[in-house]
Amino acid sequence: MKEVSALQTYRVLEPGPIVMVTTSDRGKPNVMTMGFHMMIQHAPPLIGCIIGPWDHSFETILATGECVIAVPGLDLAETVVDVGNCSGDSVDKFQRFGLRTEKAKEVSAPLIADCLVNIECVVVDRRNVEPYNLFILEAKRLWVNETRKERRTLHHRGDGTFTVDGGTLDLKDRMVKWRHLP
Ligand SMILES: Cc1cc2nc3c(=O)[nH]c(=O)nc-3n(C[C@H](O)[C@H](O)[C@H](O)COP(=O)(O)O)c2cc1C
């Protein structure tokens, strides 16, 4: 084994799809890119997200307690990186990147019509925002865009490199202990 810096741990344990997080700051929509997230609970569905104070989105999520998590396909790869390299402080990212929006049902943040999936979320636990920038979100509504042709997701390996989702392995028959899960 070759030892590498433990600071690179995130590069091997950050396998979930890269996502975009939308917010609405008094009617003005914004979007950021997020790689640090994890499922925490099945029901109600809880998601842990790291959103730091270096992001304009941080203040908006603190103030509104709402956001949308959108999962882009491979066709949005460059946009995903560019969205994460500029700030809603100074840029209207929906206009700059030509991302189309749709109204959400329960939150003021918009859905991204060009994404594969959109999850309407509300903040249910802020106890770890200080010191970890960790927001616990509850997924309220889940929207799947079945019209997108490109369905491969992107998985951030650090420093702007991504693994692209490949084939599917179906081992459902062996999941005998977990039949009750939805
Ligand atoms: C691939 C990628 C992954 C990122 N992951 C996160 C993350 O998990 N948490 C975070 O706070 N910022 C993350 N960022 C940085 C934000 O997307 C970036 O700071 C963005 O400019 C914030 O936008 P805003 O200021 O409009 O909120 C990531 C950026 C990239 C390019």
Tell me if 76 is assigned to some domain.
yes
Q: What is the pLDDT of residue 65?
A: 98
Tell me if 25 is assigned to some domain.
yes
Average pLDDT over residues 48-54: 97
Whether the CB of 30 sits within 6 Å of ligand 1? yes
Tell me if 141 is assigned to some domain.
yes
Q: What is the pLDDT of residue 14?
A: 66
User: Is there a contact between 120 and 138 (Cβ–Cβ < 8 Å)?
Assistant: no
Average pLDDT over residues 89-109: 97
Whether the CB of 109 sits within 6 Å of ligand 1? no
Residue nearest atom 7 of ligand 1, based on CA coordinates:
34
* pLDDT band at residue 9 using 50, 70 and 90 as cut-offs: confident
Whether the CB of 34 sits within 6 Å of ligand 1? yes
Q: Domain span at residue 10?
A: 6-178
Q: What is the pLDDT of residue 6?
A: 87
* DSSP sequence for 143-172: EE-TT-S----EEEEETTEEEEP------G
Which numbered atom of ligand 1 lies nearest the CA of 52? 11
Residue nearest atom 4 of ligand 1, based on CA coordinates:
34
Q: What is the pLDDT of residue 126?
A: 98
pLDDT beyond 80 at 13: no
- Substitution site in 55, 59, 91, 154 for ligand 1 pocket (most atoms within 8 Å of beta carbon): 55
pLDDT beyond 90 at 4: no
Whether the CB of 71 sits within 6 Å of ligand 1? no
Q: What is the pLDDT of residue 7?
A: 87
Tell me if 92 is assigned to some domain.
yes
Tell me if 156 is assigned to some domain.
yes
User: Is there a contact between 26 and 82 (Cβ–Cβ < 8 Å)?
Assistant: no
Whether the CB of 91 sits within 6 Å of ligand 1? no
* pLDDT band at residue 74 using 50, 70 and 90 as cut-offs: very high
**Tally of structural domains, the chain:** 1
* In the chain, beta strands by DSSP E: 19-25, 28-34, 37-41, 46-50, 66-71, 101-102, 111-112, 117-128, 134-144, 154-158, 161-164
Q: Please say whether the dihedral angle defined by the alpha carbons of residues 1, 157, 155 and 132, taken in this order, is positive or negative.
A: positive
Averaged pLDDT of the chain: 95
Whether the CB of 51 sits within 6 Å of ligand 1? yes
Average pLDDT over residues 46-58: 97
- Higher per-residue pLDDT: 141 or 13: 141
pLDDT beyond 90 at 24: yes
CATH number at residue 165: 2.30.110.10
- Substitution site in 19, 28, 30, 32 for ligand 1 pocket (most atoms within 8 Å of beta carbon): 32
Tell me if 1 is assigned to some domain.
no
Q: What is the pLDDT of residue 15?
A: 67
